[in-house]
Amino acid sequence: MSAFETDYLITGAGATGLAFADTLLQETSAHITLVDSHALPGGHWNEAYPFVTLHQPSAFYGVNSLPLGRGRKDTHGLNAGLYELATGAEVCSYFQQVMQQQLLPSGRVRYLPMSRCQAVATTAEGGSAEVVSLLSGATTAVRVRRKWVDASHFSPEVPATTPPAFAVAPGVRLLTPTQLAQAGVGRAGELPTPPGYCILGAGKTAMDVALWLLGQGVPPAALHWVVPRDAWVVNRLGTQPGEEFFMQSIGGMAQQMRALSEAQSVDDLFLRLEACGQMLRIDRQHMPRMFHYATLSEAEVQALRQITQCVRLGRVQAIEPEALVLQQGRVAMAPGTAYIHCTASAVAPRANRPIFEPGRITPQLVRAPLVSFSAAVCAYVEAHYGSDAEKNALCQPVPFPRRLAGYITATLVSQANQQRWNEDKTLRNWMRQTRLDGFGQLTSLVDRNDSAKMAVLAELRQHLGTAAASAQRLLAASR
Ligand SMILES: Cc1cc2nc3c(=O)[nH]c(=O)nc-3n(C[C@H](O)[C@H](O)[C@H](O)COP(=O)(O)OP(=O)(O)OC[C@H]3O[C@@H](n4cnc5c(N)ncnc54)[C@H](O)[C@@H]3O)c2cc1C
């Protein structure tokens, strides 16, 4: 068996592994090895449907050393007036550039695509692992001098690689979003044009599919939408990087903290967030029970409201040739309907664990929902701080919301981390220069003579003080 040594062995060359490696490379002289089962860097983006885009501005995504996108605003479409959202193809191409132009030329990074990392054993002194080539089957032994980094902890499930968890009768046309866009539904001589489409699932992928179908000219009357739970979504207006959006972004944070301070219940909190324009929901007749940080523009929400044939009878249990069988009932469907599988969980529940352990790092969210920023922070802390206890004190993992109340916990833990970072001069200074933390730069650049912006910052500070206590009360009441 061949063998090599490395300081950091990273399993996963997706957004998490790359953002971590990029910052570690900048901040240390360590040797890094990235192992990934895909042929190209980018993780799940390699399997994304053709019409996917980021749901947040490109400005905050990717790795710290290389900007993603050109900092332009969209001039047309449902994101018009807001900063650009990279397409899936752009994200994949960007991550290839990161590998080829940032990481590999350093001479300190080894990249092993089409390989599986297995038999990892860690100790306080480092560890060992095996890397198996998925093409040749050859196994290489790796001695890890410092740490193994599990950058697969936050890996999402996507429809392209996650079979549906319900029965599908023979002859029923069930398509993934990729198949919908590529398989040529209705192509001459192949599949007949379906009488309608039924979108299964109510997460961001389902929203993307619905918007795409509407954008292709499919009439809303031809669409059914299975919505097991309605979702609150983040208004993209509040996530904009530019200074011209200061009132919406930083002002929006102040409004969030005010809502948290004043809310009487979890539902009341979300209704207040909706009233101040921070949160949106597609159907105002239904109280959402899900919040996964899906982010939409107001124009996108408006477009989705055109779909009125929503099926709210729980999850799909089976699709029969002429009916949908759901947890709470059965709905007759036209034969030949094309069903679109959007039921994979992009945020499958995984228990948090300490980020820093002897011989092991598990990058997780340290500020929800920023995946890239969080991975970069974990790498920076690894590079500059001493014991695992000290590092973990700076990086508490943020639990991803499973219920609505999870938004409160995620906000509290994110804020507590931010507070500790603010008190640490080194970390604070690094964050001010970190492109992945656009909001930190926005606040640090405020002109003290700008009374309107200073008032927003004062309001934010004021409500931050009261929000934490109120949040604990809301959480206790929701249990
Ligand atoms: C459609 C979609 C859109 C999204 N949009 C956004 C967005 O706009 N903004 C945002 O912040 N987040 C977004 N997300 C969330 C997304 O999860 C993260 O942005 C990010 O891409 C996740 O990256 P990751 O590296 O954690 O996981 P992955 O991309 O899944 O990468 C993990 C990698 O590890 C590899 N791997 C796992 N185990 C092994 C092993 N044993 N050996 C070798 N390789 C292994 C996998 O093959 C994979 O390549 C989106 C998610 C989806 C599904």
Q: Is 12 in the pocket of ligand 1 (CB under 6 A)?
A: yes
Residue 128 and residue 227 share a domain = no
CA dist 299 → 60, 244, 279, 288 (Å): 22, 20, 13, 19
For the segment 429-437, the average pLDDT, to the nearest whole number, is: 91
Instruction: Give 216 Cα–ligand 1 centroid separation in angstroms.
Output: 28
Q: Is 292 in the pocket of ligand 1 (CB under 6 A)?
A: no
Q: What is the CA radius of gyration of the chain?
A: 23
**Residue 138 · residue 58 · CB < 8 Å:** no
Q: What percent of the chain has pLDDT above 70?
A: 98
Q: What is the pLDDT at residue 191?
A: 63
For the segment 413-432, the average pLDDT, to the nearest whole number, is: 94
Q: What percent of the chain has pLDDT above 90?
A: 91
> Could you tell me if residue 221 is inside a domain?
yes
**pLDDT(190) > 90:** no
Residue 414's closest CA among 383, 445, 439?
Answer: 439
**Residue 319 · residue 309 · CB < 8 Å:** no
Cα 369 from chain centroid? 6
d(CA 75, CA 55): 17
Residue nearest to atom 51 of ligand 1 (CA): 346
Residue 179 and residue 322 share a domain = yes
Tell me the pLDDT tens digit for each residue of 99-129.
999 999 999 999 999 999 999 999 999 999 9
- Model confidence band, residue 183 (pLDDT cutoffs 50, 70, 90): low
- Which atom in ligand 1 lies closest to the alpha carbon of residue 18? 25
Residue 127's closest CA among 103, 106, 150?
Answer: 150
**pLDDT(188) > 70:** no
**Residue 219 · residue 244 · CB < 8 Å:** no
> Could you tell me if residue 194 is inside a domain?
yes
Residue nearest to atom 34 of ligand 1 (CA): 12
Q: Which of 400, 426, 442 is the last residue before a domain boundary?
A: 400
Residue 172 and residue 46 share a domain = no
Residue 100 and residue 187 share a domain = no
Q: Is 116 in the pocket of ligand 1 (CB under 6 A)?
A: yes
Residue 18 and residue 63 share a domain = yes
- Model confidence band, residue 465 (pLDDT cutoffs 50, 70, 90): confident
Mean pLDDT of the chain: 95
Q: What is the pLDDT at residue 347?
A: 76
Instruction: Give 308 Cα–ligand 1 centroid separation in angstroms.
Output: 33
Residue nearest to atom 4 of ligand 1 (CA): 54
Q: What is the pLDDT at residue 167?
A: 97
Q: Is 54 in the pocket of ligand 1 (CB under 6 A)?
A: yes
**Residue 337 · residue 198 · CB < 8 Å:** yes
- Which atom in ligand 1 lies closest to the alpha carbon of residue 116? 42
Q: What is the pLDDT at residue 184?
A: 62
Q: What is the pLDDT at residue 452?
A: 95
Q: What is the pLDDT at residue 87?
A: 98
d(CA 79, CA 210): 15
Q: Which of 301, 321, 341 is the last residue before a domain boundary?
A: 341
Q: What is the pLDDT at residue 213?
A: 97
Q: Which of 341, 360, 390 is the last residue before a domain boundary?
A: 341
- Model confidence band, residue 431 (pLDDT cutoffs 50, 70, 90): very high
For the segment 26-36, the average pLDDT, to the nearest whole number, is: 98
Q: Is 152 in the pocket of ligand 1 (CB under 6 A)?
A: yes
For the segment 237-259, the average pLDDT, to the nearest whole number, is: 95
CA dist 44 → 25, 41, 162, 338 (Å): 23, 9, 12, 25
**pLDDT(231) > 60:** yes
Residue 54 and residue 150 share a domain = yes
d(CA 469, CA 217): 49
CATH number at 9 reads 3.50.50.60
Instruction: Give 368 Cα–ligand 1 centroid separation in angstroms.
Output: 15
For the segment 33-52, the average pLDDT, to the nearest whole number, is: 97
Residue 163 and residue 151 share a domain = no
Q: What is the pLDDT at residue 348?
A: 72
For the segment 213-239, the average pLDDT, to the nearest whole number, is: 97
**Element holding 390 (H helix, E strand):** helix 388-394
Tell me the pLDDT tens digit for each residue of 59-87.
999 999 999 999 999 999 999 999 999 99
Q: Given phi > 0 = left and psi -120 to 50 = alpha, else beta, which region is 131?
A: beta
How many separate domains does the chain show? 2
> Could you tell me if residue 434 is inside a domain?
no
Q: What is the pLDDT at residue 444?
A: 84
Residue 323 and residue 208 share a domain = yes
Residue 305 and residue 167 share a domain = yes
Domain that residue 385 falls in: 2-155+350-400
> Could you tell me if residue 477 is inside a domain?
no
Residue 179 and residue 51 share a domain = no
Instruction: Give 152 Cα–ligand 1 centroid separation in angstroms.
Output: 7
> Could you tell me if residue 111 is inside a domain?
yes
**Residue 333 · residue 168 · CB < 8 Å:** no
For the segment 415-420, the average pLDDT, to the nearest whole number, is: 95
- How many C-beta atoms lie closer than 10 Å to residue 277's C-beta? 14
For the segment 282-292, the average pLDDT, to the nearest whole number, is: 97
> Could you tell me if residue 249 is inside a domain?
no
**Residue 291 · residue 229 · CB < 8 Å:** no
| Burial tier of 340 (Cβ tally within 10 Å: 0-12, 13-18, 19+) | buried
- Say which residue, 189 or 246, is predicted with more confidence: 246
Residue 331 φ then ψ, to 5°: -130, 125
Instruction: Give 443 Cα–ligand 1 centroid separation in angstroms.
Output: 30
Mutate-to-test residue for ligand 1 from 9, 10, 36, highest number of ligand atoms within 8 A of CB: 36
| Burial tier of 206 (Cβ tally within 10 Å: 0-12, 13-18, 19+) | buried
Q: Given phi > 0 = left and psi -120 to 50 = alpha, else beta, which region is 129?
A: beta
> Could you tell me if residue 455 is inside a domain?
no
Residue 136 and residue 99 share a domain = yes
Q: Is 346 in the pocket of ligand 1 (CB under 6 A)?
A: yes
- Model confidence band, residue 349 (pLDDT cutoffs 50, 70, 90): confident
Q: Is 55 in the pocket of ligand 1 (CB under 6 A)?
A: yes
Q: What is the pLDDT at residue 458?
A: 95
> Could you tell me if residue 151 is inside a domain?
yes
Residue 336 and residue 380 share a domain = no
